[in-house]
Amino acid sequence: MLKSYFQKIGSRRVIVMLVGNIIIGLGVAVFKLSGMGNDPFSAMMMALSAKIGMSYPLFQVMMNCLFFIVQLLWGRHLIGIGTIVNALGLGYFTDFFYKFLTSFVAPPNMFVIQVVLVVIGVLVCSFGLSWYQLPDVGVAPYDALALIAHDKFSKIPYFWCRIATDGLAALLAWFCGGIIGLGTLVCAFGLGPFIQFFNVHFTSKLLKKGK
């Protein structure tokens, strides 16, 4: 069964998805280094894990397992190898890159440098998300929540379902002392055009080469 699944989706799509998750991890680490906020989900995971005294990667895996139960019950069609890689690996990729970056540089306190890091984070995350999403080999458990809500309540546009999940995540992060700032707003509303640019001009061409 697994063999036929991998034969169907192709090794190139799996590799592109995997590299995409690694790149996303780097982007999230850059956002964290900026000190101006992460995407709502990562901000929530970092804040909650710090609040209860658990390592961020392990806590994210545990929460993804809970979200995966919802996905398994109502969004099974959204599950794929990309779901597993993202759920189990992204937190560890982020933690690795953040420790690596901070072994060379300290988190900046100059506003200009922080903004530059946010811009770099936008580009890196958008590039990684393009690599992760376009192969279409599974949706992350957290990302699936908005899609499931849209399926269940079809009168509510997906945009508002996503705003609801991201808004709740950002609110929980803020209540737990997490940083909600420019990076959070950019991740919530501004990544789309950059992801689309990379989809059209790079990732789609890369995937076509494997056909």
Full domain range(s) for residue 39: 11-202
Residue 208: inside a domain, yes or no?
no
For every one of its 211 residues, what pLDDT tens digit does the chain have, with 9 covering 90 and above? Answer: 666 776 778 889 999 999 999 999 999 999 999 999 999 999 999 999 999 999 999 999 999 999 999 999 999 999 999 999 999 999 999 999 999 999 999 999 999 999 999 999 999 999 999 999 999 999 999 999 999 999 998 889 999 999 999 999 999 999 999 999 999 999 988 898 999 999 999 999 999 875 5
Residue 1: inside a domain, yes or no?
no
Residue 105: inside a domain, yes or no?
yes
Residue 169: inside a domain, yes or no?
yes
Residue 5: inside a domain, yes or no?
no
Residue 151: inside a domain, yes or no?
yes
Q: What contacts 24+ positions apart, CB below 8 Å, involve 144-149?
A: 144/67, 144/70, 144/71, 144/75, 144/78, 144/83, 145/67, 145/70, 145/71, 147/75, 147/78, 148/70, 148/71, 148/74, 148/75, 148/78
Domain count, the chain: 1
Buried/exposed code over 100-130 (b: 16+ C-beta within 10 A; e: otherwise)? ebeeeeeebeeeeebeebbebbbebbbbbbb
pLDDT at residue number 2: 63
Residue 88, Cβ neighbours under 10 Å: how many? Answer: 15
Residue 4: inside a domain, yes or no?
no
Residue 117: inside a domain, yes or no?
yes
Whole-number Å distance between alpha carbons of 21 and 62:
18
